[in-house]
Amino acid sequence: MADMAEQSTQKIVRVVQGQVEQAERKVVEEYPLRLRVNGRELATLVCSPHQLNFLLVGFFRLQGFIDTLDDILSMGVCSEYGLAELRLRAELPEQLQPTLTSGCGTGISYNLPQNLLNPSQQSSRSYRSEELFRLMKELHGHAEQYRSHGGIHSAAIGDVDGLLLYAEDLGRHNTLDRLAGEALFKGIDAQDKMLVTSGRISSEMVAKAARLGVGLIASRTSPTDRAIELSEQAGITMVGYLRGSSMEIYSHPQQLQL
């Protein structure tokens, strides 16, 4: 499993029922990481400063720049200056493209690339509710830091045998990049696996999960309307408010046995 997100201690003034006292509080570290790729400044990721190799590899994997570790010729991180230097086999576009594409019409609509839509593959997916509840319970057990001071999102990928990958970061989207990177390093196939997360599910998170081949996404909170729409397109079962023994199913309920 990846290391926990780093934290620092901050002196604070605590007020409780009108009483003032000096105290200390653990807080999340926010780390801006500049990306220099093939000699070009590409972007800056705002993330947690631990296990940056998983984050970087997953980020470029889900952006579509790499498929295997062999697509990375070199990678180095200077933690003092917050700079990651990479050489990739692929030529990069002039600017990073969003994970989703938008089209014209009565409003903005989001659609997944055609290669992520495979009905024959999706029809064989089947999950059991008790497996999903157990996986969320395992995620909660790993998220000690989230309970200690808040501000950290956690996510995990698992199957019938339990949790396979775990990641946490101050950014919800970064947790998926971290999972994608660690899966590549460890040779773990996320196809048709379950993804559980502590935070709200956005359309970008669904698009990243679809690229990994995940068949079910579940959160302790709610998905956005665009996230539900994309889940319908990709054949992904979307579950929200998964707490205790209750949940709400927003898309493809036939794939989840209750």
72 and 151, same domain (yes or no): no
Angstrom distance (rounded) from CA 242 to CA 87: 41
Mean pLDDT per block of 10 residues along the chain (258 residues) reads: 61 82 82 92 89 95 92 93 93 62 38 61 80 93 64 91 93 94 96 94 92 95 92 93 92 92
105 and 69, same domain (yes or no): no
84 and 119, same domain (yes or no): no
What does the pLDDT read at residue 112?
Answer: 63
Residue 6: inside a domain, yes or no? no
Query: 66-82 in b/e burial notation, b at 16+ Cβ within 10 A?
Result: beeeeebeebebeeeee
153 and 202, same domain (yes or no): yes
What does the pLDDT read at residue 13?
Answer: 81
Q: pTM for the whole thing?
A: 0.86
What does the pLDDT read at residue 101?
Answer: 39
What does the pLDDT read at residue 103?
Answer: 36
Angstrom distance (rounded) from CA 212 to CA 189: 8
List the CATH number of the domain containing 167.
3.40.140.10
Domain count, the chain: 2
108 and 228, same domain (yes or no): yes
Residue 24: inside a domain, yes or no? no
The domain of 62 spans: 31-88
- Reduced to 3 states, what is the DSSP secondary structure of residue 169? strand
Which residues make beta-bridge pairs with 87? 74
Query: 91-113 in b/e burial notation, b at 16+ Cβ within 10 A?
Result: eeeeeeeebbeeeeeeeeebebe
Catalytic residues: 104
Residue 9: inside a domain, yes or no? no
What does the pLDDT read at residue 96?
Answer: 62
Residue 139: inside a domain, yes or no? yes
Residue 20: inside a domain, yes or no? no
List the CATH number of the domain containing 56.
3.10.20.10
163 and 241, same domain (yes or no): yes
